[in-house]
């Protein structure tokens, strides 16, 4: 399985047998293949010098494979440069223009070949712009970033306890990213869930002007209790659900991940109240992790 389409495979210098590579062994700037190391230095191009045990019957126990030059794809440089600044902890050189990013959760047993940036059932995801990644969130661990960006602490701690790995993924502006305020929410529904656009339309005024808690009080319901008893409100479930603002809000929570902290301002909410400000948030299309070049992915500490 090749590392990615950006990487070329090499051959044993003695028998010319292809040398396999595996992406799950890539860790920041050091790659481990079985018991041997593949060490690489990143820059405008990545020079990979491989020294690995070769036990394929060619007679040589260890062969030095010639260097592999890996050039970043055109247009990827801004995202790759910000990722490199993170890996180097070089805040002074971090650039933010035209870059967006988000944290990806990889639970135990996740298949990197099929993983998506958020749950595959979700068509759209929250992302933050380069200003936040080069600024207020720069160099932080996953838990602190998530808290600052409106994720509930109980959920974060549960994921950490179960061994979830966190990666920070950067990608460049592609013309399909917009601000995650209430106008952006409506646009996201119309763009990614057109089948429910007509049903939800009469409820936009209520949804925009009532907080999560206010809706619970107005309709004498508990969103958490309903979720536990009925499960998530998927698009299919919403199409046949009772036509109420409560059902509409539950659909937004499931499909767009609009939790109790979402305020529709286009900025995150830190429930601690001391996160040092807010992060601008945007909507972008969910996509496979395999589409993101490795040069744009950063491993995060919890």
Per-residue pLDDT of 129-149, as tens digits, reads 999 999 989 999 999 999 888
| E strand or H helix that includes residue 11 | none
- Which residue is it, tokens 């004498």? 220
Tell me what the pLDDT averaged over the chain comes to: 79
> For residues 92 and 162, which has the higher predicted lDDT (pLDDT)?
162
Can you give the pLDDT at residue 288? 96
Does the structure show a pLDDT above 50 at 27? no
Phi, psi of 166 (to 5 degrees): -120, 130
**What percent of the chain has a predicted confidence (pLDDT) above 70?**
73
Can you give the pLDDT at residue 35? 30
> For residues 139 and 69, which has the higher predicted lDDT (pLDDT)?
139
Does the structure show a pLDDT above 60 at 62? no
| Least confident interval from 119-123, 159-163, 245-249, 270-274 | 270-274
CB contact at 8 A, 31 and 17:
no
Query: What average pLDDT does range 97-124 have in this prediction?
Result: 94
- Cα separation, 258 vs 286, in Å, equals 15
Which residues of the chain form beta strands (DSSP E)?
Answer: 26-27, 30-33, 36-41, 46-53, 62-70, 99-106, 124-129, 165-172, 178-179, 281-285, 297-300
Can you give the pLDDT at residue 276? 54
| E strand or H helix that includes residue 250 | helix 245-255
| Residue 42 CB neighbours (<10 A) | 18
Does the structure show a pLDDT above 50 at 298? yes
Does the structure show a pLDDT above 50 at 179? yes
Does the structure show a pLDDT above 80 at 273? no
Does the structure show a pLDDT above 70 at 268? yes
| Least confident interval from 14-23, 53-62, 91-100, 101-110 | 53-62
| Residue 20 CB neighbours (<10 A) | 11
Structure tokens at 137: 């969130």
Query: What average pLDDT does range 245-255 have in this prediction?
Result: 98
Structure tokens at 279: 């992060």
Can you give the pLDDT at residue 271? 67
Can you give the pLDDT at residue 89? 93
75 sits in the region (left: phi over 0; alpha: psi -120 to 50; else beta) called left
**What is the pTM for the complete model shown?**
0.72
């Amino acid at each position: 399985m090749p590392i990615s389409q950006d990487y070329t495979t090499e051959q044993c210098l003695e028998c010319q047998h292809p040398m396999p590579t595996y992406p799950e062994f890539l860790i920041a700037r050091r790659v481990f293949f079985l018991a041997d190391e593949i060490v690489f230095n990143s820059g405008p191009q990545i020079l990979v010098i491989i020294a690995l045990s070769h036990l394929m019957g060619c007679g040589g126990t260890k062969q030095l494979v010639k260097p592999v030059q890996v050039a970043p794809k055109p247009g990827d440089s801004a995202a790759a440069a910000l990722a490199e600044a993170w890996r180097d902890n070089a805040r002074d050189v971090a650039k933010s223009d035209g870059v967006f990013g988000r944290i990806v959760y990889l639970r135990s047993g996740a298949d990197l070949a099929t993983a998506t940036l958020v749950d595959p059932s979700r068509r759209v995801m929250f992302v933050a712009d380069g200003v936040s990644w080069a600024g207020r969130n720069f160099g932080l661990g996953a838990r602190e970033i998530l808290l600052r960006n409106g994720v509930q602490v109980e959920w974060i701690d549960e994921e950490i306890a179960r061994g979830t790995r966190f990666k920070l993924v950067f990608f460049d502006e592609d013309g399909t990213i917009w601000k995650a305020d209430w106008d952006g929410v409506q646009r996201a529904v119309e763009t990614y869930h057109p089948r429910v656009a007509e049903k939800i339309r009469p409820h936009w005024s209520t949804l925009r002007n009532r907080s999560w808690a206010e809706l619970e009080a107005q309709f004498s319901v508990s969103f958490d209790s309903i979720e536990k008893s009925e499960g998530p409100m998927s698009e299919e479930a919403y199409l046949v659900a009772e036509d109420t603002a409560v059902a509409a809000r539950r659909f937004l929570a499931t499909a767009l991940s609009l939790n109790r902290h979402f305020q529709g301002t286009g900025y995150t909410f830190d429930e601690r109240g001391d996160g040092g400000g807010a992060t601008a948030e945007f909507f972008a299309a969910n996509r496979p992790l395999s589409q993101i070049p490795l040069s744009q992915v950063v491993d995060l500490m919890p």
